[in-house]
């Protein structure tokens, strides 16, 4: 069974078929789903989905693109969601830094929000799900301020060197459909260089649909294309990639026996 480590089923793109799609996933080879929130409302929706479906889990947090006006009350709301739903909330995320869009909240607010969430992850002993876009060095140095916190850099887009630093810090890396894109260069290089026990897979649905369904709304059934591409890059079987990435995710989110 595949483990979907990152999909936004709480978004409006799934309003027409969310429940039917989510209930059908275990029969289609996807045994677990983690839905990370991006603000308080979507974190709440993710928790509701996790309460409704036994194979769905939530992460709660404020995304760097959504942290404008971020305050201590916001963090308290995220904390309450995690504390009140310990069986559903398996991580703090999606958090991090995004310097790509010029209209994003200012960098100081992003950093403050990111640090506060990492401190929350440490306090609650939960892993962190990190979004990093065009902010590699700041993300890495902030992560290093929290040596006790484990996490994943989702949709990893950085260099092999930084990936090795993260692995040495005990972190994981996860890969999306972008590894299947023709212009993908860095991600396949990183996939080839990492120890297999540090790799997880995700679709980041509804975004980033892999080849051959690129451009459509993405969903977790497309994990097979990412699994197969990683198998091809590493020269091992898809079954081996599936077994390893699922074991890694169960261990990472604390869902093993
Ligand atoms: Zn995401």
SS3 for 102?
coil
pTM of the model: 0.97
- Chain position carrying tokens 């198998």: 231
CA of 144 to the centre of ligand 1 (A): 22
What is the per-residue pLDDT across 135-150, written as a single tens digit (0 to 9) for each?
999 999 999 999 999 9
Q: pLDDT over 90 for what percent of the chain?
A: 96
Give the chain's domains with CATH numbers: 2-252 (3.20.20.140)
CA of 6 to the centre of ligand 1 (A): 6
Strands 172-175 and 56-60, by their bridges, are unpaired
CA of 185 to the centre of ligand 1 (A): 21
CA of 204 to the centre of ligand 1 (A): 5
CA of 54 to the centre of ligand 1 (A): 21
How sure is the predictor about 74, in pLDDT bands with cuts at 50, 70 and 90?
Answer: very high
The pLDDT value given to residue 183? 87
CA of 8 to the centre of ligand 1 (A): 7
How sure is the predictor about 159, in pLDDT bands with cuts at 50, 70 and 90?
Answer: very high
CA of 38 to the centre of ligand 1 (A): 8
What is the per-residue pLDDT across 17-32, written as a single tens digit (0 to 9) for each?
999 999 999 999 999 9
What is the per-residue pLDDT across 202-227, written as a single tens digit (0 to 9) for each?
999 999 999 999 999 999 999 999 99
CA of 57 to the centre of ligand 1 (A): 14
Classify residue 209 by its DSSP letter.
P
Contact criterion met (CB below 8 Å) for 175 and 28: no
């Amino acid at each position: 069974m595949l483990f979907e480590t990152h999909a936004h089923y709480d978004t409006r793109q799934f309003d027409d078929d969310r429940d039917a799609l989510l209930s059908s996933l275990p029969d289609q080879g996807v045994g677990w789903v983690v839905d990370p929130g991006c603000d308080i409302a979507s974190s709440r929706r993710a928790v509701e989905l996790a309460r409704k479906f036994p194979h769905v889990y939530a992460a709660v947090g404020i995304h760097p693109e959504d942290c404008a006006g971020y305050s201590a009350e916001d963090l308290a709301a995220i904390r309450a969601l995690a504390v009140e739903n310990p069986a559903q909330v398996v991580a703090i995320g999606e958090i991090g830094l995004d310097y790509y869009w010029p209209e994003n909240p200012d960098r100081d607010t992003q950093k403050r929000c990111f640090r506060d969430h990492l401190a929350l992850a440490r306090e609650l002993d939960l892993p962190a799900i990190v979004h990093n876009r065009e902010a590699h060095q700041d993300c890495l140095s902030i992560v290093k301020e929290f040596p006790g916190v484990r996490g994943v850099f989702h949709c990893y887009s950085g260099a092999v060197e930084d990936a090795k630093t993260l692995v040495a810090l005990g972190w994981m890396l996860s890969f999306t459909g972008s590894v299947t894109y023709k212009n993908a260069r860095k991600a396949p290089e990183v996939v080839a260089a990492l120890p297999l026990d540090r790799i997880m897979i995700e679709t980041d649905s509804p975004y980033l649909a892999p080849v051959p369904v690129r451009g459509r709304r993405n969903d977790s059934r497309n994990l097979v294309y990412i699994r197969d591409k990683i198998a091809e890059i590493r020269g091992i079987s898809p079954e081996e990639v599936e077994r390893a990435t699922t074991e890694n995710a169960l261990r990472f989110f604390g869902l093993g026996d």
